[in-house]
Amino acid sequence: MIPLAERYHLLSVVGRGGMGTVWRAHDDMLARDVAVKEVRLPDRRTIGERRLLCRRLIEEARATAALRHPGVVDVHDIVIEDGRPWIVMELLRARSLHQVIVEGGPLRVERAARIGQCVLSVLTAAHGAGILHRDVKPSNVLLCNDGRILLTDFGLAVHMDQASEPEETLVAGIEGSPAYLSPERVLGDPGRQESDLWSLGATLYAAVEGFSPFLRSHALASMLAVLLGEYDPPVRAGRLAPVIEGLLRQDPNERMRAPEAARLLREAARPPAPPGDPRSPPWRRRLLPKPWPVRIGLMVSDPRPFLGTVPVRSSAGP
C-alpha cells in the first residue's frame, strides 16, 4: 500500500468506531509508531452527509489539538488523502473503560473515583477553552498501560459560541450514545457544560454498577428513560453515590457543578481508613466494642486504680 502523504505506512487495525477506523501505522520520517484515524464514508450517505463526516473529523482534530492536557491524546498531523481526512495521533497502549467493565466487572469505588477525577479534569480544561465534548461515555475513556487516563473522541465536540446555533445533523438524527445523552440533549438542545457533567455521572454509575443506568432494549426506550429520569439507585457506589446523584439531576440548573464534584471525587478516591482510625466514618467507629477497664482477676466499672482490701462475708462468719 502506498503510504499516506508518502510518510505513514498502515500496519494493522487498532479499533473501529461509529465515525472511522483507527490504524497502527509507522512514521517513516521520524521512525516511530503512530495511530492514524480514517473516516469511513459509506456509499449510502449523500454527498452532503459525506462532507459533514469529513468536516467532523477535521473539527475533532482541531478541538483535540487545541487542548494542552495530559488527559488528551496528542495530535501530530492531519492528512487529506483520496478526498478524506486522516488524523495522525500518538499510539496508545490502552483499554477503554467499557472494555474493562465488560471483561472484569464493576470497579472499586476508589478506582472509579480516580477515573472520574481525570475525566472531570479534561472536561474542565475543555470548557475553559470553550469546547463541549458532547460524547462522554465509558468507550471514550481510555485506561493506558502506563497509568494515564484519557478522554478521547472529540468527534462531536462543538465550540460554545456555536452551541446555540442550529446544527447540521445526519439522517439518523441521533448523535452520541442514547444511554449517555443528557435530558436536554435528547430534547434537541445542542448541549452545555452541565450536559457533559450529566454524561460523566452516567459513566461513573456504569463504572461501579457494571451497566448504564439508562440502557434499555433500544435507543428510543433509552432516551425515554433519560427524559423520565428512570434509573435504579446505585447499590455499589458507596462514597460516589452523592456525586452520581448530583450529576444526574434532570434540571441542568440544579445539577452539581464541577468544583463540588471535584471535591467529592477527591474524597471518594482516598483509600478507606481502617476501623478505629479517627478518619474513619463515625458509623464505623460506633460498631467497635467499647474497651472495658480490666484489672487482674476483676472487671470493674470505675477506671481508677483499685486500692485497699475487700471485705468478705460468709455464713461461717467473718
CA 146-28-10 angle, to 5 degrees, is 75
Cα distance between residue 312 and residue 318, in whole Å: 7
Provide the strand spans (E) within the chain.
Answer: 8-16, 20-27, 32-39, 75-81, 84-90, 94-96, 131-132, 141-144, 149-151, 158-159, 294-295, 298-299
Task: Classify 23 in phi/psi space as left (phi over 0), alpha (psi -120 to 50) or beta.
Answer: beta
Give the separation between CA 121 and CA 72, rounded to whole angstroms: 10
Q: 34 and 27 in contact (C-beta within 8 Å)?
A: yes
Residues facing residue 86 across a β-bridge: 38, 79
Instruction: Give, as one character, the DSSP assignment of residue 56.
Output: H
The catalytic position among 27, 28, 33, 135 is 135
Give me 42's grid cell. Answer: 459509506
Tell me if residue 27 is catalytic. no
- The residues assigned a catalytic role are 135
